[in-house]
Amino acid sequence: MASRLFGLVILIAITSALSTFATVTLMRYEGGRLLSYIPTLPSAGAISTPSPTTPAALLPTPQPAAPLSAPPSTAAAPLLRPSEEVAVRIAREAGPAVVNITSIATTYDFFFNPVPQEGIGSGFMIDANGQILTNNHVVENAERLEVTLVDGSKFPGTLVGRDPSNDVAIVRINAPAEKIHPLKLGRSSDLAVGQQVLAIGNPFGFDRSVTTGVVSALGRTLRASNGRLISGIIQTDAAINQGNSGGPLINSQGQVVGINTAIFSPSGGSVGIGFAVPADTIARLMPELIAKGRVPHSWMGASFQDVTPDLARALSLPATQGVLVAQIIARGPAAKAGLRGATRVQRIGNIRVQIGGDFIEAIDGVAIKNADDLQLFLDSKRSPGDTILLRIYRDGQEQTIELTLGEQPNGQ
């Protein structure tokens, strides 16, 4: 016991002497022996001149500081991670293809004086002819278009064609060949959820801003400005804001897999839920847009009322999903095929329903869930001029009606 007490006194004395220069971070004392003692010393600049009462033998020996230019003892870590190198390369290579599109339209104030208004969006070059892909809502209603390239040069833009139903448009500029840097379209059908993507655009006028993220989901639907649904939409968490519209969504191979078109946001700013029109849709639409300036869409010439389980029970319908024919457009495909529209309006539950018209259960043997499902089927599976078979329910009996699809008129 005496030897253990003596050892502890010696240890306390040594620790007290070093307290000016060291902080004990680990100390274990067991069985009369000091098992570990690891001091953390201050930097050399913090060591003061020893006082006369401090034994010189207990002072640490200062080490000369290494020169600032001395190389590290180990190899320096790479400045960029592989994923960062990919993003930097894509931004460098794709950046010159991304353009700023300014649309100029005229509105009128309270006194009917003309007031020019500007809208800003993005786009990207797609071929050597100076053609640029963007969103329809970027150029819609524009009286004049101005395209700004990466070097700041500006060119007037000419609208080649647009498709409001898929929010896609093509603009052409007449620029020197050395200023044209087209991007290549990839295949959106090859995308996988979790795959890294990069978005380039001009949010709030900040030219060629780059954001990165992943594909959050595939196969979403998005409603276009004309009310029709766009299918196959890509969801991403790459930041998209006002002004990003029309810019490219790019995969790690530098290929365009979509056009950034919209965000979901309670606040109006990016919350990590953005949407892009898929590249496969763009590739399908481009030939028609370039050749005709528009894209023909299948049209039945009728409006529809969705059927719910409650509505089906109230009307004694044979299925709990499908559509009721509400209105028939004169001389349209539905009218020529002999479809019947609603004859009266009736309140069922809390909704007013147009009833008396045909109930459509299926098209070409494919069950129809609702009006949006019907429209998506016609857009993706059928073309104007195709003949379809409708399985309908009329006057308590099932029937089959043949209908030849027309082309959707402008404004429908």
Catalytic residue from among 165, 209, 245, 270: 245
In CATH, what is the architecture of 93-292?
Beta Barrel (2.40)
Q: Which residue intervals of the chain bear CATH 2.40.10.120? A: 93-292
379 is catalytic: no
Superfamily classification of domain 298-407: PDZ domain (2.30.42.10)
103 is catalytic: no
Catalytic residue from among 122, 163, 165, 167: 167
137 is catalytic: yes
How many Å from the N-terminal Cα to the C-terminal Cα in the chain? 101
In angstroms, rounded to a whole number, what is the distance separating the alpha carbons of residues 255 and 46?
Answer: 57
Q: Which residue intervals of the chain bear CATH 2.30.42.10? A: 298-407
Q: Is the pTM of this model over 0.85?
A: no
In angstroms, rounded to a whole number, what is the distance separating the alpha carbons of residues 43 and 56?
Answer: 18
pLDDT tens for the chain, 412 residues long, are 445 544 544 444 444 444 444 333 333 334 444 333 333 333 333 333 333 333 444 444 445 444 444 445 455 545 877 878 888 888 888 889 999 999 877 666 656 566 656 678 899 999 999 999 999 999 988 889 999 999 999 999 999 999 999 999 999 999 999 999 999 999 999 999 999 999 998 887 777 788 989 999 998 988 888 888 888 999 999 888 888 889 999 999 999 999 999 877 666 666 788 999 999 999 999 999 999 999 999 999 999 999 989 889 888 999 999 999 999 999 999 999 999 999 988 887 778 888 899 999 999 999 999 999 999 899 888 999 999 999 999 988 999 999 999 998 875 5
Instruction: Please name the amino acid found at residue 223.
Output: R
